[in-house]
């Protein structure tokens, strides 16, 4: 792929090359082989532009991810350029259809160009314009829409917890409403009326009140009705089960599930997907205030069942329980909850993958296929019923913690208690995949990743097909 980057009014242009075709002699002298992601920069004689030759690997082995990552490589190699032109003319042929190539390149470019520099006093990044030269502008628009959904989720997660309490999160989401997208914010007495006992218990330790955001997307034609539930703990101190200082540092990201749902809904609206959507976002701060829920307290949910709070830092499953009960009526065709629910899932999958729990084989296949197309690693873990024994309580129907190995499985089993048995349901545990504390990699920056948005969009795209 060829890219041209430049300072001032000049362009940076990236051109794609599969391994095999011969690029310019300059690139060959620099050892260019066409290896996927390899970049060679050649200054233009005018001194204002730089030609970037980007490798795509063997033509027969290219995938959409190959083109996405080539665009990422071009953006990162553009350096101080203000503009970048990505030229797909040399990338014809191969197993990836031209529209899919254009969509992947646009998506990768936007994701790689993302910066969260709202609180920096220095100058913003220089790159202000990216152009993709292709015969398929509609595919570029689709890629941009999905990437902007990811960037929206990243902005929410990257926002400091002190400036994004539940009410501010709700305000930002409400600002997206219009046309087929509506938004209702349930607060105060409305939460009591809805039976949000878990959400109210978790939120009562904070000076910032909890709320529940309900989003509905009702396009004229709907092939399927899907409900998404996103965990929205805008800051998690652990409550009275206080986290360590190190464990608290990235806890502004504990609303990564809610952010991913918002980003996916935003992209679905921009793409005009023919799928009815309902999104439920229980939002709260988990703080150790004088009214905070205590270990040993019991919460009575809207279905009449009870949960003993043994660990105030296992608050996510408690607030999700309320939302899953609310999601029962009306019954959707599919119900998916998305949450940064357990740290233990990272011990199984590392920090770049999320876990999938579901007992529905068809929904599992849909989600794994969507994740593969989106380029987001998703791994299915078992809902081992034997682990349910660790959630027993001597005073309530269940406990929210076991202090035993297998917490990610136990958390998923806890959530399953609140889902109507006949409803196809899946739980995505983002673990540490929602926030990258390492160096940037592929299209993922340091900080918020927006993980889950692309998988959900691919799922919804397939649901509307």
What amino acid positions are annotated as catalytic residues?
243, 317
Structure tokens at 256: 């990564």
Q: State how far the Cα of 168 lies from the Cα of 84, in Å rounded to an integer.
A: 35
Among candidate residues 19, 291, 354, the one with its CA nearest the CA of residue 1? 19
Residues in Cβ contact with 382 at an 8 Å cutoff, skipping those fewer than 6 apart: 357, 409
Residues in Cβ contact with 344 at an 8 Å cutoff, skipping those fewer than 6 apart: 405, 406, 407, 408, 431
Among candidate residues 84, 161, 80, the one with its CA nearest the CA of residue 123? 80
Q: State how far the Cα of 461 lies from the Cα of 304, in Å rounded to an integer.
A: 37
Q: Are 303 and 332 in contact (CB under 8 A)?
A: no
Q: State how far the Cα of 342 lies from the Cα of 411, in Å rounded to an integer.
A: 8
Our CA dihedral for 4, 7, 10, 13, rounded to 10 degrees, sits at 10
Q: Are 317 and 341 in contact (CB under 8 A)?
A: yes
Q: State how far the Cα of 81 lies from the Cα of 168, in Å rounded to an integer.
A: 35
């Amino acid at each position: 792929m060829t890219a041209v980057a430049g300072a001032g009014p000049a362009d940076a242009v990236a051109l794609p090359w599969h391994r095999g075709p011969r690029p310019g002699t300059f690139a060959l002298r620099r050892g260019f082989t066409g290896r996927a992601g390899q970049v060679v920069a050649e200054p233009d004689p005018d001194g204002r532009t730089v030609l970037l030759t980007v490798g795509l690997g063997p033509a027969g082995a290219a995938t959409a991810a190959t083109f996405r990552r080539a665009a990422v490589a071009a953006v990162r190699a553009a350096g101080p350029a203000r503009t970048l032109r990505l030229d797909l003319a040399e990338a014809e042929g191969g197993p990836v259809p031209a529209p899919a190539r254009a969509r992947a390149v646009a998506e990768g470019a936007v994701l790689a160009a993302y910066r969260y520099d709202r609180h920096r006093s220095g100058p913003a990044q220089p790159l202000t314009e990216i152009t993709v030269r292709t015969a398929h502008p509609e595919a570029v628009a689709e890629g941009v829409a999905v990437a902007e959904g990811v960037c929206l989720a990243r902005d929410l997660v990257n926002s400091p917890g002190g400036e994004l309490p539940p009410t501010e999160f709700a305000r930002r989401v409400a600002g997206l409403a219009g046309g087929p997208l509506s938004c209702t914010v349930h607060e105060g007495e409305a939460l009591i009326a809805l039976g949000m006992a878990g959400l109210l218990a978790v939120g009562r330790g904070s000076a910032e009140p909890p709320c529940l955001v309900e989003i509905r997307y009702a396009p004229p034609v709907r092939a399927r009705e899907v409900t998404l539930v996103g965990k929205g703990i805008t800051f998690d101190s652990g409550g009275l089960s206080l986290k360590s200082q190190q464990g608290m540092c990235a806890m502004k990201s504990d609303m990564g599930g809610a952010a991913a749902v918002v980003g996916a809904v935003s992209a679905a609206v921009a793409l005009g997907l023919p799928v009815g959507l309902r999104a439920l976002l229980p939002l709260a701060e988990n703080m150790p205030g004088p009214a905070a829920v205590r270990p040993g307290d019991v919460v009575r949910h809207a279905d009449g069942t009870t949960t003993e709070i043994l660990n105030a830092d296992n608050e996510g499953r408690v607030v999700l329980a309320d939302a899953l009960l609310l999601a029962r009526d009306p019954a959707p065709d599919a119900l998916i909850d998305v949450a940064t629910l357990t740290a233990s899932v990272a011990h199984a999958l590392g920090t770049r993958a999320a876990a999938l729990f579901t007992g529905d084989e068809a929904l599992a296949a849909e989600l794994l296929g969507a994740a593969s197309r989106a380029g987001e690693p998703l791994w299915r873990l078992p809902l081992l019923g034997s682990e349910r024994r660790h959630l027993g309580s001597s005073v309530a129907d269940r406990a929210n913690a076991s202090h035993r190995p297998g917490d990610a499985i136990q958390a998923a089993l806890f959530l399953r208690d609140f889902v109507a048995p006949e409803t196809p349901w899946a739980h995505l545990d983002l673990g540490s995949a929602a926030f990258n504390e390492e160096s940037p990699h592929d299209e993922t920056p340091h900080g918020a990743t927006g993980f889950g948005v692309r998988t959900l969009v691919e799922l919804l795209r397939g649901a509307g097909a």
